[in-house]
Amino acid sequence: MWRMVGAPTTGEDATDGAEDDGAEQAAAFATPGTTRPSLARRLARGLVDRLLPPCCPLCRSLTADGGALCAACWSTIRFIERPYCERLGTPFPFDLGEGTLSAGAIADPPAYDRARAVARFEGAGRDLVHMLKYDDHVELARLMAPMMVRAGRDLLAGRPLLLPVPLHPTRLWRRRFNQSALLAREIARLSALPCDTGLLRRTRRTPRQVGLDRKGRADNVRGAFALAKPERLRGRDVLLVDDVLTTGATVEAATRTLRRAGAARVDVLVFARVVGDGAS
């Protein structure tokens, strides 16, 4: 179960556990093999914290560690845990047995093999995505990536090649960064896996997907992707990385491009995904 180890339990004031937020969130998502920072680095960090006290990136309340969420914001993240559809990664209201597929996955199977997400696209989960994507808070990638490593551990076990969902060059020029590439690089660093941010390319500039229905989104991204070196994918397992999954139109179009190049398996890992009331 996802939990912030230092979150206040019943009867405790939320501010009592705030000083442990950063250290314990870091411990909850620690990656084996990481080393402790040097004494000089810890002292320098302590000095910076005194001059600029660390705070929650969402509500700006004080925390013990920069880049950590406070207990109140952490509690609004609706994490996606098992039981869920083995194919779509959407949660079930109760356990139907290992490997169970949802009605949506059976009736309309996706082009990709499996999808996993950290949380529902609501509450603090949605806020983190929006702050990273639209408010230039690129530092949030280091907070979000360890959660994605945990949520996608079964996808990462096969040691796939990580490919971020690309932006069109003009949109990348205006935004100055690709949030999916930031997440993919961090996941690759934490998992010691290969990541190629230039292999999958967006060759057609498309209108923003926001506000489009499922069919409109699919039409919008059809034929929008190409590969720089298709031969690199023949027989390889691939993990597509993106910030959010809504209707799935973007990753479906990207997956078809990867399949045509001979990718053996294509999985999808996102930070947040839209989940219907019925938890499709």
DSSP string, the chain: ----TT---TTS-GGGGGGGHHHHHHHHT--TT--PPPHHHHHHHHHHHHHS--B-TTT--B-SSTTPPPHHHHTT--B--SSB-TTT-PBPSS---TTPPPHHHHHS--SSSEEEEEEESSHHHHHHHHHHHHS--GGGHHHHHHHHHHHTHHHHTT-PEEEEPPPPHHHHHHHSS-HHHHHHHHHHHHHT--B-SSSEEE-S-----TT--HHHHHHHHTT-EEES-GGGGTT-EEEEEEEEESSSHHHHHHHHHHHHTT-SEEEEEEEEE---TT--
Measured in Å, how far apart are the chain's first and last C-alpha atoms? 21
Per-residue pLDDT of the chain (280 residues; tens, 9 = 90+): 554 433 333 333 333 333 344 444 444 444 444 445 567 666 655 554 556 788 999 998 988 777 789 999 999 999 999 999 999 999 999 998 889 999 999 999 999 999 999 999 999 999 999 999 999 999 999 999 999 999 999 999 999 999 999 999 998 998 999 999 999 999 999 999 999 999 999 998 776 656 656 666 566 677 789 999 999 999 999 999 999 999 899 999 999 999 999 999 999 999 999 998 544 3
Task: Please give the pLDDT value at position 207.
Answer: 60
User: Residue 46: what pLDDT?
Assistant: 56
Q: Count the alpha carbons within 13 Å of 268 in the hemisphere toward its beta carbon.
A: 32
Q: What tokens does 11 get?
A: 């009867």
- pLDDT given at position 108: 93
Residue 98: predicted pLDDT: 86
Query: What's the pLDDT at 71?
Result: 93
Distance, in Å, from the CA atom of 215 to the CA atom of 166, rounded to the nearest integer, reads 21
Beta bridge partners of 265: 237
Domain ranges within the chain, ordered by starting residue: 14-74, 103-273
Q: What is the CATH number of domain 103-273?
A: 3.40.50.2020
Cα-based distances in Å from 59 to 45, 96, 160: 22, 38, 36
Q: What is the pLDDT of residue 93?
A: 92
